[in-house]
Amino acid sequence: MKILLTGARGGLGSECKEVLKSGYEIIAPDREEFDITSWDKVIIAINQLSPDIILNCAAFTKVDECETERKISERINVEGTRNLAQAAARYDKTTVHISSDFVFNGRKRLPQPYFEDDPMDPLCFYGFTKMESEMAVKQNTRNYIIIRAGWLYGIRGDNFLKKILRVALKRKRESICVVNDQFGSPTWSYRVARQIKLLLDNGKEGIYHATSEGYCSRYELAKYFLEKMGIKTPVVPCAAKEYPTPAIRPVNSILENRQLKREGLNVLLNWRKDLDTFIDKYGEDLLREETGAQGD
């Protein structure tokens, strides 16, 4: 089976490219060759390449910038996704689309998780575009998988852990403040890629939550990560309201992989266990990347 993969240079897309190449033929044009916001490019490419599956990992993911760059973020996240879904429907292909924990308002009492069928009610514009992207998939195509991920990290692309490491290395002994009133499940993008492969291998369709087991605050995550990395920079907890950001983030971003578990397909692990494995594998690379970047 042939997969047309978008966003293959991004954090999740690059993992999907690696993981899915055993078992699938992957075509992964970059953004210059295949801009999802261009209907003409999308329809011509899908007609010519004739993939069986379109896996959309492309998105405008800078959550705060989405507040100021509303047109661009809507164009990429909503119109781009709609283009892919409509083209997929025209040629009877399967669409796999990645959505987000930010489609929920996070007001459920902690630690109650969100389920696949809970109503969407995003707090910020990024979350709004992700909700609309889901609607674009559901309204335009019959054969689809929507995967809601959250708090992704990995070796490629930028992410929360890399930012924390960058700041900690700069500050050295001076403490860093991290919010302790936003909760979620840190998830290794490699594991999500494995989950996507398993769903495709089994011919599944529908909406799935795919985040690690267990949860923590951003403060707990930063502290755990830096300790495991052997970085001594002290981490102190603070409240989100002390550090206002343009985009409001949900307090509770905990998702339950209920559908995956019902179908006996959940491959996601406890977040600490998986983060340990990630650090064992990539800790030195992360340090090299960040110390190299600071020397620039």
Ligand X SMILES: NC(=O)c1ccc[n+]([C@@H]2O[C@H](COP(=O)([O-])OP(=O)(O)OC[C@H]3O[C@@H](n4cnc5c(N)ncnc54)[C@H](OP(=O)(O)O)[C@@H]3O)[C@@H](O)[C@H]2O)c1
Verify binding: residue 10, ligand X, rule CB under 6 A: yes
Verify binding: residue 4, ligand X, rule CB under 6 A: no
Per annotation, catalytic residue among 24, 126, 208, 224: 126
Sign of the dihedral defined by the CA atoms of residues 176, 125, 205, 54, in that order: negative
Q: Which is nearest to 122 in space by CA: 139, 144, 152, 100?
A: 100
Q: For ligand X, which residue of 3, 4, 5, 7 counts as binding (CB under 6 A)? A: 7
**Closest residue to ligand X in the complex (CB):** 10
Verify binding: residue 57, ligand X, rule CB under 6 A: yes
DSSP for 149-216, please give it.
Answer: E-SEE-SSS--HHHHHHHHHHHHTTS-EEEESS-EE--EEHHHHHHHHHHHHHTT--EEEE---BS-E
| Least spacing, CB of residue 72 vs ligand X, in Å | 9
- Is 208 catalytic? The answer is no
Give, in degrees to the nearest 5, the angle at Cα 289 between 151 and 12.
Answer: 35
Peptide linkage before 51 cis (omega within 30 of 0) = no
Kindly indicate which of the ranges 10-18, 117-125, 222-230, 259-267 contains the residues binding ligand X, using the contact rule CB under 6 A: 10-18
Cα–Cα distance, 33 to 273 (Å, whole number): 38
Instruction: Say which residues have a Cβ less than 8 Å from residue 7's Cβ, sequence separation at least 6.
Output: 13, 56, 57, 58, 59
Among residue numbers 23 through 52, which ones bind ligand X (CB under 6 A)?
Answer: 30-31, 35-37
Q: Which is nearer to ligand X, 154 or 226 (CB)?
A: 154
Kindly indicate which of the ranges 6-14, 112-120, 232-240, 284-292 contains the residues binding ligand X, using the contact rule CB under 6 A: 6-14
Verify binding: residue 184, ligand X, rule CB under 6 A: no
Kindly indicate which of the ranges 149-157, 227-235, 269-277, 280-288 contains the residues binding ligand X, using the contact rule CB under 6 A: 149-157
Q: Which is nearer to ligand X, 29 or 283 (CB)?
A: 29
Verify binding: residue 137, ligand X, rule CB under 6 A: no
